[in-house]
């Protein structure tokens, strides 16, 4: 009787233990399933009432050129109830979790907004710098050349890739223009009727693509002088004593587009030349050097070119040659 009672007791205990184990396994299985759902679906959401989140941890400012697509994918939650919009400087340019497109040249603010169907939203803001492509047309930045009176002409040097330019606009108005110096200079005529101010220059190629050329000041105010004195005194020029005070230093101070002015007085002839006595603009020597006659105070003006820089480099610097006059001042602009 005792043995039978013990057997029944042990049976009940064993049954209870098995039930406990079964419950434990069931709970563990539920936990595992819940964990798997979280791991396998990181954007899983219980409902559309959840607050939106942008999950990317590697968002950063970027710099691209005009021809390179800006590419980015955004991960959000709740994934099934969230719309992503992309705002460039406040204007929507795309919708969806990815963007893959070119952007205009400039420094931009890109705002990424995630909004749920319940109207809840969050955002991230990035800075995107878009530079011109290597073969885009571009203008020089000399402030003096970018200062012109209404209806007047100005020539902008240090330009590049102007061969594709079919139209030039200033302040939205098409203007007359001419490409010079093998595509490295642009001569344009400013529009008439503009009020004094700064205006955008737009370059347009044959396909209608527009490129920023910076800004130009169109004004009736006098253009400021950028003239710098590099020598001043009195030097009597003769056939035997050319002015050579700047022979070794002049080239380091100038470049193509620099304006050289020589202030003279006297009664004679001469010009700016290399130390080989050849004209700095043409490379020609006497009798084709092109000496300028002097009869009293005068100012000689020479706009240096690539050829000038080459001549000064190969022919050992600057001389001011001739006879019968005095050099008073030498300036560059």
Report the number of distinct structural domains present in the chain. Answer: 3
Nearest Cα to Cα of residue 281 among 318, 237, 229: 318
pLDDT in tens, 65-120: 989 999 999 999 999 999 999 999 999 999 999 999 999 888 999 999 999 999 99
Query: What does the pLDDT average to over 239-256?
Result: 96
CATH value at residue 157: 2.60.40.10
In a domain, 5, yes or no: no
- Looking at the fold, whether 202 and 282 belong to one and the same domain comes out as no
- Residue 20 dihedral angles phi and psi, to the nearest 5°: -60, -45
313 part of a folded domain: yes
Structure tokens at 163: 């061969």
Residues with Cβ < 8 Å from 312, sequence gap 6 or more? 250, 251, 274, 280, 318
* Res. 4: pLDDT tops 80: no
Same domain for 157 and 109? no
Q: Which domain holds residue 264?
A: 228-332
157 is written with which tokens? 């040097």
The neighbour count for residue 87, using CB atoms within 10 Å, is 16
Give the domain-ending residue among 199, 218, 237: 218
239 and 214 inside one domain = no
Residues 201, 271: one domain? no
- Which band of pLDDT confidence, cut at 50, 70 and 90, is reported for residue 132? confident
Quick one: how far is CA 313 from the chain centroid?
A: 32
Q: Which of 191, 218, 245 is the last residue of a domain?
A: 218
Residue 24 above 60 pLDDT?
no
Q: Is residue 2 part of a domain?
A: no
3-state secondary structure 206-253: CCCCEEEEEEEEECCCCCCCCCEEEEEEEEEECCCCCECCCCCCHHHH
Given 106, 131, 156, which residue is the final one in a domain? Answer: 131
* Domain-located, residue 141: no
User: For residue range 248-262, what is the model confidence (pLDDT) as tens digits?
Assistant: 999 999 999 899 999
């Amino acid at each position: 009787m005792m043995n039978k009672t013990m057997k029944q007791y042990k049976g009940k205990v064993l049954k209870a233990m098995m039930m406990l184990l079964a419950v434990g396994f069931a709970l563990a299985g539920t936990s595992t399933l819940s964990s798997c759902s979280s791991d396998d679906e990181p954007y899983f959401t219980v409902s559309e009432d959840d607050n939106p989140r942008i999950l990317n941890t590697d968002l950063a400012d970027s710099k691209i050129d005009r021809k390179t697509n800006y590419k980015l994918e955004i991960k959000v939650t709740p994934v099934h109830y969230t719309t992503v919009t992309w705002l460039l400087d406040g204007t929507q340019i795309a919708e969806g979790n990815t963007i893959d497109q070119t952007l205009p040249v400039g420094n931009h603010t890109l705002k990424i907004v995630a909004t749920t169907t319940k109207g809840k939203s969050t955002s991230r803001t990035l800075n995107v710098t878009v530079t011109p492509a290597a073969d885009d047309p571009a203008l020089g930045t000399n402030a003096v050349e970018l200062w012109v009176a209404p209806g007047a002409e100005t020539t902008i040097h240090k330009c590049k890739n102007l061969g594709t330019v079919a139209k030039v606009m200033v302040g939205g108005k098409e203007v007359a223009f001419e490409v010079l110096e093998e595509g490295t200079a642009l001569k344009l005529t400013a529009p008439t009727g503009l009020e004094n101010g700064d205006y955008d220059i737009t370059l347009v190629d044959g396909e209608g693509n527009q490129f920023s050329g910076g800004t130009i000041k169109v004004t009736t105010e006098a253009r400021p002088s950028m003239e710098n004195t590099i020598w001043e005194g009195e030097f009597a020029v003769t056939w035997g004593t050319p002015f050579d005070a700047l022979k070794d230093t002049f080239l380091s101070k100038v470049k193509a587009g620099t304006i050289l002015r020589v202030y003279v007085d006297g009664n004679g002839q001469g010009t700016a030349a290399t130390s080989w006595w050849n004209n700095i603009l043409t490379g020609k020597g006497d009798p084709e050097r092109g000496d300028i006659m002097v009869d009293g105070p005068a100012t000689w003006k020479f706009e240096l070119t690539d050829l000038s820089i080459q001549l000064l480099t190969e022919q050992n610097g600057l001389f001011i040659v001739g006879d019968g006059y005095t050099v008073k001042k030498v300036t560059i602009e």
